[in-house]
């Protein structure tokens, strides 16, 4: 890992442009993004005003993602790199920090959020839970922040970014209303969300769910037999109807959990696939942040009601 980082940083040092020039004329801003959530946001704000390259597609786990040589070329060509931050991209964050020191414009969108609005986590690398996009109020702040950064770098299109941010925030408000309306059928005692890894704490906080997961905040650590046993007992004790798999995490841990419940002569369903750290296919409704959130909500309510 260390050697890999040194080589990668060396490559970037050689290739990094020292100065970021403001775009002029018809030249389009070149933007590289990491997670599909961040890619979708830039797409919503910028449309065809920028040349956008998203690194991580559907089903890709950002905790484990390593930059390829092709990615390094994309970093080299980029005017700006937007990433999620708070160590979500565990194997890229050091690279981005170093690139920033060398004059490359690398922006963690999590910088938009004040520390008081983040969920602390003593045992995670950044000391905070990095899955903040599930807080819609915080995602609105990220929207304004990204629009502001795009406007600074590409002043000729600033009004486009600002107008699009305003429209997007209105859509996020509509999403919040829809979420609250859907949840009316789900009483407090049924609001227990069991998933593969700990991506839903912000969701739980927003919508009053108890959140239980097999793996921690990162997928880098596998669930142990003890975790499976403990959570299977919890499921039986609380009479939980369904547990959920995640599109970016292998299904085996949740299947092991289901088997453990069965071994104790009880049943728990797999309630469906949730999109946690990656959106769905770009051509599907779940391929956008708003579509993803609505899909997750519908899946959760249908399985637990």
Nearest to 293 by CA among 119, 160, 209, 177: 177
Pick the closer one to Zn ion by CB: 41 or 86: 86
Nearest to 288 by CA among 208, 135, 193, 171: 171
Kind plus residue range of the DSSP H or E element containing 274 = strand 269-274
Pick the closer one to Zn ion by CB: 15 or 121: 121
Pick the closer one to Zn ion by CB: 23 or 87: 87
CB of 48 to Zn ion, least distance (A): 31
CB of 277 to Zn ion, least distance (A): 4
At 125 the three-state DSSP class reads: coil
Give yes or no for a contact between 168 and 233, defined as CB atoms under 8 angstroms apart.
Answer: no
CB of 36 to Zn ion, least distance (A): 13
Pick the closer one to Zn ion by CB: 52 or 199: 199
Backbone angles phi, psi at 233, to 5 degrees: -65, -40
Q: Which residues contact Zn ion by CB under 5 A? A: 199, 277
CB of 246 to Zn ion, least distance (A): 8
CB of 130 to Zn ion, least distance (A): 7
Q: How many angstroms separate the CA atoms of 132 and 296, rounded? A: 16
Pick the closer one to Zn ion by CB: 113 or 199: 199
Pick the closer one to Zn ion by CB: 120 or 180: 120
Nearest to 254 by CA among 243, 262, 263: 243
Q: How many angstroms separate the CA atoms of 248 and 18, rounded? A: 36
Strands (E) in 57-188, as ranges, are 80-83, 106-108
Pick the closer one to Zn ion by CB: 57 or 148: 57
Q: How many angstroms separate the CA atoms of 210 and 188, rounded? A: 9
CB of 134 to Zn ion, least distance (A): 10
CB of 237 to Zn ion, least distance (A): 26
Nearest to 275 by CA among 61, 65, 86: 61
Q: How many angstroms separate the CA atoms of 204 and 271, rounded? A: 17
């Amino acid at each position: 890992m260390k050697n890999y980082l040194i080589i990668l940083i060396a490559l970037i040092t050689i290739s990094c442009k020292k100065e970021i020039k403001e775009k002029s004329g018809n030249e389009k801003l070149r933007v590289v993004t990491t997670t599909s959530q961040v890619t979708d946001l830039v797409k919503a704000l910028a449309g065809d005003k920028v040349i956008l390259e998203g690194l991580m597609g559907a089903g890709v786990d950002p905790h484990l993602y390593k930059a390829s040589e092709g990615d390094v070329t994309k970093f080299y060509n980029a005017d700006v790199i937007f990433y999620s931050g708070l160590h979500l991209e565990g194997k890229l964050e050091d690279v981005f920090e170093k690139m920033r020191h060398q004059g490359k414009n690398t922006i963690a969108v999590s910088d938009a959020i004040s520390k008081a609005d983040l969920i602390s986590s003593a045992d995670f690398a950044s000391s905070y839970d990095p899955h903040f996009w599930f807080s819609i109020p915080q995602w609105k702040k990220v929207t304004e922040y990204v629009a502001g950064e795009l406007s600074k770098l590409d002043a000729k299109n600033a009004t486009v970014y600002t107008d699009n941010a305003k429209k997007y925030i209105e859509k996020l408000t509509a999403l919040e209303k829809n979420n609250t309306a859907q949840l009316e059928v789900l009483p407090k005692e049924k609001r227990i969300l069991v998933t593969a890894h700990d991506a839903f704490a912000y969701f739980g906080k927003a919508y009053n769910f108890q959140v239980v997961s097999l793996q921690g905040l990162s997928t880098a650590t596998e669930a142990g037999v003890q975790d499976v046993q403990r959570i299977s007992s919890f499921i039986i004790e609380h009479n939980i109807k369904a547990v959920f798999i995640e599109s970016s995490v292998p299904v085996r841990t949740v299947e092991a959990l289901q088997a453990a419940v069965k071994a104790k002569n009880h049943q728990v369903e797999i309630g469906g696939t949730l999109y946690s750290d990656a959106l769905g296919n770009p051509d599907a409704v779940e391929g956008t942040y708003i579509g993803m959130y609505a899909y997750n909500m519908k899946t959760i309510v249908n399985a637990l009601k």
